[in-house]
Structure 1
């Protein structure tokens, strides 16, 4: 279906891959604009509704495709999705890429990942650069174990600084080790303290409840799709948690043959700032830039939107043509 909403054209559709329906939301003020494929985080956590409610205006500059990955939200169907692996999602990403190129008559598109989506996106672009104009990593994934070690240390240090003895004792009761990804106690303290202490989705003013509320009140989802969202979150983590925990993005995506842009909040403890910097420093690319967002945690595109959009307009959109025309300036 296609509707028009406040000058933003909107499409909701499904692409079949191996007999399984993959859901897409596509938005733009002009479908002639450059196409950007957005890879959500989680794994299994769709972000269309959250970004829409934040007021992010990147559909003014791009035709933005929010693809819900196999096993997630609109793309959750236990009878057809099969086993979900990193390799399968890489393959799915390429199929969606080619679908968008054909639909909008583009030789290449942009691709942006957030959190888990940056691990997926890094691999896709590193292995298949011919399809992409640039890679944009927001909340860049590095090494998940080391990142979570930073998270645990942050939680403990923050509880101590605040004089919150109950929280400090609670966090200390959890042993952090290599099996952290299957430790229910560790997942519990993340849920209880990470947003509260300002290292989660946003530095301030966000909760797990708010995230689910945003998803369930999005009227572009059917009720069945809304109820599939929590199913997809649990299913995707069960399917990919170990893979994610043991991954090092610099080994899986060491070289890019396109420009790379990394945008990261200094207070991010879902994918730690230190690990994002390490990723940036180790990868090879014809050009690369790292942007520190001083007032953000895990979501600089929500927390510091004007700066985020300025970078997209002045740096990302000109990255492909600037070497041809140094005076290029996207309006």
Structure 2
């Protein structure tokens, strides 16, 4: 079956490293981890992150969402603080298991919710993959997000929340607020996706970087991918992934790191994840990517939301090539919103929470928190 060129390009733009590369690094890490039992590490991190305030909330729970069991982590020092719902990327790469490495300061100001979507992360082990596979569409993920929002507002007694889309989550977030603007203080795009032109910008920017470095191997391999972007059909996905392997080598994924191996290793110490959850991560990612990218019928051309009825804040790394910086900036310039703000992170690519964590916290507090009424008084 043939897909539209646009749909293949947009879907692949959010993929992480290929499974084989992760599997090799996982074997090496496993040997090193034998020195300290996993339960000891996760237990200490859980104790370090424990929320002790009487107003606080620290919940890890499964809920039923449109016929499937999906997991939520809800954490914050004061449950009266604005809710920040994080829509993870991938499309099958949740951040819940890695959130221990960066999220704790956010919890002073927001009640932070990480949600493992249908069939991925903690939600994979309970999933009936054969039944859920045909339901893996962007529209279904938006419907699931709406149900999660209603659950959170009722559970925490709020009328609105802030939704933060990250990478593939930035495809879900705009559609969600377009359908239900009355439920949101603001939309935040972290590594904002911006349509099919992004792939052309990725290739052009990457070629500029490798030529400036006179990297003859990269130049030769990238030129062999032409015409680019590839037409849908055999070999298209391999070409799209090949550009991203070189993009990470040239600071387009995680500034200063040539792979995402470290990011995929972090859940191995994540207190929210069991050892079985960690083992399921890679199969779940592959399953989600297969069903969202290579499924029938051929998807409709992607549509970008142009008009927002809520404030918009875009947070983007200058060097990002997974969701290219210039395409995100162009999309932002075309947006209509009652308030909009674009914040550039000058030494970041696609992993802002690790690359410039202090500046990211500052942006959330200065740019986003006021849009939600500020932090609740103790």
Shift of 1:72: 1.5
1:193 to 246, 250, 265: 246
2:226 aligned with 1:183: no
Check conservation: 1:142, 1:248, Cα contact below 8 A. Answer: no
How many residues in Structure 1 have an aligned counterpart in Structure 2? 318
The change in CA–CA distance for 1:212 and 1:306 in structure 2 (over 3 A counts) is closer
Deviations 1:287-307 (A, max 9, x none): 111111111111223322222
Q: Secondary structure of 2:80's match?
A: coil
- The answer to whether residue 162 in structure 2 is matched with residue 110 in structure 1 is yes
The 1:246/1:216 distance shift into structure 2, 3 A limit, reads farther
Counterpart Cα distance in 1 of 2:199 and 2:358: 29
Indicate how the Cα distance of structure 1 residues 311 and 192 shifts in structure 2: closer, same or farther if over 3 A, else same: closer
TM-score scaled by length of structure 1: 0.87
More displaced 10-residue stretch of structure 1: 220-229 or 271-280: 220-229
Give the equivalent residue in structure 2 for 1:153.
Answer: 204
Shift of 1:92: 0.2
Change (3 A) 1:109 1:55: closer
Tell me the distance in 2 between the aligned counterparts of 1:206 and 1:156: 16
Which residues in structure 2 correspond to 1:84-95 (within 5 Å)? Answer: 84-95=136-147
d(CA) in 2 for partners of 1:180, 1:265: 29
Q: Report what 2:318 is aligned to.
A: 266
Out of 21-30 and 112-121, give the one that drifted further.
21-30
- Residues 179 and 13 (structure 1 numbering): CA distance in 2 closer, same or farther, change over 3 Å? farther
Match of 2:225 in 1: 174
Aligned counterpart in structure 1 of residue 263 of structure 2, from 203, 211, 214: 211
State whether residues 7 and 29 of structure 1, in contact with CA within 8 Å, keep that contact through their aligned partners in structure 2. no
| Match of residue 228 from structure 1 | 280
Higher relative contact order (CA 8 A, sep 6+): 2
Equivalent of residue 302 in structure 2, options 241, 247, 253: 247
Larger displacement relative to structure 2 (4-13 or 228-237): 4-13
Which shifted more, 178-187 or 283-292?
178-187
Secondary structure, aligned partner of 2:73: strand
Per the alignment, residue 288 of structure 1 pairs with 340
Gap regions ≥5 residues in structure 2: 1-45, 52-56
Q: Distance in 2 between matches of 1:257 and 1:167?
A: 44
Q: What are the ranges of 5 or more consecutive residues in structure 1 without an aligned counterpart?
A: 322-327
Contact 2:99 2:270 (C-alpha < 8 Å) held by counterparts: no
Quick check: 106-115 or 26-35, which moved more?
Answer: 26-35
| Secondary structure of 1:159's aligned partner | helix
Aligned Cα root-mean-square deviation (Å): 2.5
CA contact (8 A) 1:203 1:296 kept: yes
Return the offset for 1:232: 2.1
Map of 1:131 onto structure 2 = 183
Distance 1:75 1:289 in 2: 34
Tell me the equivalent position of 1:324: none
Equivalent residue, structure 2, for 1:46: 94
SS at match of 1:142: coil
Superposed displacement of residue 157, structure 1: 2.4
**Which stretch of structure 1 is more off in the superposition, 291-300 or 181-190?**
181-190
TM-score, normalised relative to structure 2:
0.77
In the alignment, structure 1 residue 31 sits paired with structure 2 residue 74: no
Offset at 1:193?
1.8
Change (3 A) 1:303 1:311: same
